[in-house]
Amino acid sequence: MDVAGHILIIKDLFAAGGIVMPPLVLCTLLLWYGLGYRFWVMKEPKRLGVRDLLKYYQQHEDKPAKNIVAQAIKQGVALQKKGVKNLRRHLDEAFYGYEREIAKFTVLIRVIILIAPLLGLLGTVIGMIETFDSLATMTLFSQSGGIAGGISQALFTTQMGLTVAIPGLLAHSILKRKQHQIELDLSQVKDLLCHQIHNHLPTKSH
């Protein structure tokens, strides 16, 4: 299919959905941009446990970090070896950037998942109003679509709203669980590094 054919299909979609189609299309683009970004940030699986990863990077500082937890561990190990005072505070500051990165676009995604079905419902209401107006004047076809156009718009926008929201909700749930696991891993890294420092502190003799 050539470019002109694709443009014609897009025009037909906008015509079928009426006034709510532009915001629905915008919501779709923003939703999948946010989901794609979050997937890219958290894409690399953690093949080892946190303890094993920590031990590995303490012994191989020059090895590249393949995921966000490994990046945090490398940074935490570097701070530990510097012997900074109040390591927990420095780790909290260092890991804050990772925590923000994995939480990016969550609010935007949640908002779009909520408003997409409402936009579809708005299109349904607009379509039904047009249908009842056409019934009142007994207009089967008109410039705005008439009875047939109103019913078509009512059904199409509802379908479009749900098509945006349902896959987005499923993908968001999967990524949210992954984010929660990474947050737990980062917290465990902090605990392990601080625990190691505590165990190596000299005990005072009485």
pLDDT digit string (tens) for 89-139?
A: 888 888 999 999 999 999 999 999 999 999 888 888 777 777 776 666 655
Whole-number Å distance between alpha carbons of 180 and 183: 5
pLDDT band at 160; cut points 50, 70, 90: confident
State pTM to two decimals: 0.75
Longest Cα–Cα distance of the chain, Å, equals 100
- Sign, CA dihedral 171-173-179-184, equals negative
- Mean pLDDT to the nearest integer, 53-68: 84
DSSP 67: S
User: Which is nearest to 124 in space by CA: 50, 16, 196?
Assistant: 16
In this prediction, residue 105 carries a pLDDT of: 94
Whole-number Å distance between alpha carbons of 177 and 179: 5
DSSP 83: T
Whole-number Å distance between alpha carbons of 21 and 10: 10
Check residue 49 and give left, alpha or beta (phi > 0: left; psi -120 to 50: alpha). beta
Across 5-9, 19-23, 24-28, 34-38, which has the greatest mean pLDDT?
Answer: 34-38
